[in-house]
Amino acid sequence: MAEILSPLPGTFYMRPAPDAPNYKQVGDSVAIDDVIGLVEVMKMFNEVRAEVSGKVVRYAIENEDPVEAGQLLLVIE
């Protein structure tokens, strides 16, 4: 199991736009460098990328939740 943590504090978004599908769903395959979400800080959107490959087991937060640097975002196996 691998954990993907927030690189910085801000607001986490699971999708690139309100009307777009999530980057990843539970059960989806993930490759190294896939975008799994965005963290918005002061109107700057920072991509969060996977550092491992595998399958999304669970998200630890919801879309548009506030996050802290180092906070667990999702688990990959």
2 and 73 Cβ atoms separated by less than 8 Å: no
pLDDT of residue 53: 95
Give me the pLDDT at residue 48, please.
Answer: 97
pLDDT tens profile 12-41: 999 999 999 999 999 999 999 999 999 999
- Domains of the chain (ranges; CATH) run 2-76 (2.40.50.100)
Neighbours of 24 (CB within 10 A): 21
57 DSSP assignment: E
39-67 residue pLDDT tens: 999 999 999 999 999 999 999 999 999 99
